[in-house]
């Protein structure tokens, strides 16, 4: 039997990071055994524009490298994969349920059911529908219809015994049938509800393993009832813990971003993103620019592999030390029995660590490819990059080394792309390193003269040059190097000073120092 798993997103316009984790586990299980991973669209309740709400989700999966064998865009032998187009399947199933007496027409109005529910609450007993408006014969149907009533279809749930679920993650879990309600499976207008659709589709698509978040565990008995009533063979169930908020055990929610901002690490991640977004004219709105959603990561230059590797480890582990997994390794080694039972909080800091690791391992060429679009979007580099820009960009990214965590971080080194005349000085740094030290200007001016005579403008010789200079002046290198950095980059911090000088080249270094000196004298007057 080949393993067939599925993920069933609703077209909401965004891809939730917790959803990705669930999809990932499904995908992994299918891939490791040469099975199929299916994407099915749960759009039974939405009347919005499906295309525009679905595309971001499909794009998200594609970006992450989670591909599907059947579903939107790729089709498949079981199509359609949109629930909104499968109504007839559900109606046929409902009909069979009705015929076998596992479901019934119910002519109660919502108000009448609500009244029963309230009465039960008042009397402090569990609510069980009286089935007062249940119609199992043509006569009763006609009687109720004569009263002007319309019907919904309800499940006729067992009222005794237990439902045992053999869960691949949790072991055996049992529920008493008498706690279950006669759930509605079809509305008065003939449209169907989630649970029925879900069970019918899983069967039609020949899903062998239903891997989903724990919040569905309590819903499983009714689905089992439907499946068994229809004579379906039950899939295996695995209820995995959901991804929780940072620092709590609540389910991570897209809407609670305001609250998450109180979490230091979450805010740090968000602010990191905002700094990049502001430079590339990206709208910072919670509906897409939100660390709970995948778009956020793509937009600021995360690596899909880093995210997938991180997500793999929230709720699953191989052993007590292995953390890095290639796609191949994770598909080979993943197993449901090593899924943890308790909910795991999303840890932005740890995600960043994976990102950093993957970014550092990326070949320089790849880094350049990832960073370039950010420079272009920030208007620092033209749309068609000139030939000489390639090596120039490479040298910067090479020198920046691990300081580039996400591709968008290249913008921290914007000073290499700004014309000398437009270089902005960090005012605090300028004050501290150039204005305040008495002889900073003097030393810088002197050293500028040395630079002007330096022919071999490479990091090592420049290093030697500055050291000799310091010796001859009887100063420590710290007395000049900071001011030099501020003068040529405008910033207090950056990568190696001598690499910086080399990359900038002699003319620009001198020009920038002159400009800084002018600025300094201007400030003094």
Partner RNA sequence: GGCCCCUUCGUCUAGUGGUCUAGGACUCCGGCCUUUCACGCCGGCAACACGGGUUCGAGUCCCGUAGGGGUCACCA
SS3 content of the chain, % helix, strand, coil (to 5): 55, 10, 35
**Contact in structure between 35 and 3 (CB atoms under 8 Å):** yes
Pairing type for strands 162-167 and 171-176 reads antiparallel
User: Which residue number, 70 or 343, has a Cβ lying nearer to RNA?
Assistant: 343
Beta bridge partners of 176: 162
Candidate list 102, 251, 254, 432, residue with the active-site label: 254
User: Which residue number, 42 or 415, has a Cβ lying nearer to RNA?
Assistant: 42
Helix axes 364-377, 264-279, angle to 10 degrees: 70
User: Which residue number, 299 or 343, has a Cβ lying nearer to RNA?
Assistant: 343
Least distance (Å) between residue 148 CB and RNA:
13
User: Which residue number, 150 or 287, has a Cβ lying nearer to RNA?
Assistant: 150
Q: How many angstroms separate the CA atoms of 209 and 332, rounded?
A: 18
Residue 67's CB is within 10 A of a number of other CB atoms, namely 13
User: Which residue number, 280 or 352, has a Cβ lying nearer to RNA?
Assistant: 352
Least distance (Å) between residue 177 CB and RNA:
10
User: Which residue number, 371 or 497, has a Cβ lying nearer to RNA?
Assistant: 497
**Which residue is listed with tokens 């659709």?**
197
In 3D space, the residue among 381, 455, 411, 182 whose CA is nearest the CA of residue 275 turns out to be 411
Supply the DSSP string of 119-174, one letter for each residue.
HHHHTT-------TTEE-SHHHHHHHHHTT---EEEE---SSSEEEEEETTTEEEE
Least distance (Å) between residue 284 CB and RNA:
24
Least distance (Å) between residue 171 CB and RNA:
7
Least distance (Å) between residue 281 CB and RNA:
26
User: Which residue number, 195 or 289, has a Cβ lying nearer to RNA?
Assistant: 195
In 3D space, the residue among 370, 373, 352 whose CA is nearest the CA of residue 362 turns out to be 370
Least distance (Å) between residue 442 CB and RNA:
19
Q: How many angstroms separate the CA atoms of 299 and 288, rounded?
A: 10
Q: How many angstroms separate the CA atoms of 239 and 342, rounded?
A: 11
**Contact in structure between 46 and 13 (CB atoms under 8 Å):** no
Least distance (Å) between residue 291 CB and RNA:
14
Structure tokens, 338: 């090593």
> What SS3 state is found at 101?
coil
User: Which residue number, 131 or 350, has a Cβ lying nearer to RNA?
Assistant: 350
Q: Confirm whether 254 is a catalytic residue.
A: yes
Distances (CA, A) of 26 to 9, 21, 68, 185: 13, 9, 10, 26
In 3D space, the residue among 104, 126, 108, 106 whose CA is nearest the CA of residue 117 turns out to be 126
How many CA atoms, within 13 angstroms, populate the side-chain half-sphere of residue 96? Answer: 15
Least distance (Å) between residue 243 CB and RNA:
9
First and final CA of the chain: distance in angstroms?
Answer: 84
Q: How many angstroms separate the CA atoms of 8 and 82, rounded?
A: 10
Q: Which residues belong to the active site?
A: 254
């Amino acid at each position: 039997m080949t393993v067939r798993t599925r993920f069933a997103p609703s077209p909401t316009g965004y891809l939730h990071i917790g959803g990705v984790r669930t999809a990932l586990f499904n995908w992994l299980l299918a891939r490791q055994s040469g099975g199929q991973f299916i994407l099915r669209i749960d759009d039974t309740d939405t009347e919005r524009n499906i295309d525009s709400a679905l595309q971001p989700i499909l794009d998200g999966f594609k970006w992450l490298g989670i591909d599907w064998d059947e579903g939107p865009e790729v089709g498949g032998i079981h199509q359609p994969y949109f629930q909104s187009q499968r109504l007839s399947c559900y109606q046929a199933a409902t009909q069979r349920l009705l015929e076998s007496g596992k479901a019934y027409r119910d002519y109660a109005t919502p108000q009448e059911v609500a009244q029963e529910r309230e009465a039960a609450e008042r009397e402090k007993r569990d609510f069980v529908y009286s089935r007062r408006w249940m119609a199992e014969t043509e006569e009763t149907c006609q009687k109720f219809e004569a009263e002007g009533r319309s019907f919904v279809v309800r499940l006729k749930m067992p009222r005794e015994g237990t439902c045992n679920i053999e869960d691949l993650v949790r072991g055996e879990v049992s529920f008493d049938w008498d706690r279950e309600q006669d759930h509605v499976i079809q509305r008065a207008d003939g449209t169907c509800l989630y649970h029925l659709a879900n069970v019918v589709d899983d069967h039609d698509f020949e899903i062998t393993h239903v891997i989903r978040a724990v919040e569905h565990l309590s819903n499983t008995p009714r689905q089992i009832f439907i499946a068994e009533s229809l004579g379906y063979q039950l899939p295996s169930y695995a209820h995995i813990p959901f991804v929780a908020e940072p620092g709590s055990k609540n389910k991570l929610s897209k809407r609670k971003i305001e609250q998450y901002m109180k979490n230091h690490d979450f805010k740090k991640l968000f602010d990191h993103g905002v700094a990049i977004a502001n430079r590339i004219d990206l709208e910072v709105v919670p509906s897409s620019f939100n660390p709970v959603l995948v778009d956020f990561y793509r937009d600021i230059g995360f690596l899909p592999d880093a995210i997938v590797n991180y997500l793999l480890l929230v709720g699953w582990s191989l052993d007590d030390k292995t953390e890095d997994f290639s796609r191949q390794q994770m598909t080979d080694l993943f197993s449901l029995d090593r899924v943890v039972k308790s909910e795991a909080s999303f840890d932005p800091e740890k995600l960043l660590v994976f990102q950093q690791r993957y970014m550092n391992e990326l070949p320089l060429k790849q880094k350049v490819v990832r960073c370039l679009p950010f420079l272009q979007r920030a208007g620092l580099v033209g749309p068609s990059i000139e030939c000489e820009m390639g090596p120039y960009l490479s040298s910067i990214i090479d020198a920046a080394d691990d300081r580039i965590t996400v591709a968008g971080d290249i913008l921290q080194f914007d000073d290499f792309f700004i014309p000398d005349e437009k270089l902005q000085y960090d005012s605090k740094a300028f004050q501290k390193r150039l204005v305040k030290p008495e002889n900073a200007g003097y030393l810088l001016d002197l050293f500028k003269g040395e630079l002007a005579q330096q022919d071999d403008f490479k990091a090592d010789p420049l290093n030697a040059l500055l050291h000799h200079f310091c010796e001859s002046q009887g100063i420590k290198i710290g007395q000049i190097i900071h001011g030099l950095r501020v003068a040529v980059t405008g910033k207090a911090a950056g990568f190696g000073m001598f690499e910086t000088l080399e990359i900038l080249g002699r003319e620009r270094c001198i020009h920038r120092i002159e400009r800084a000196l002018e600025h300094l004298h201007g400030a003094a007057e």
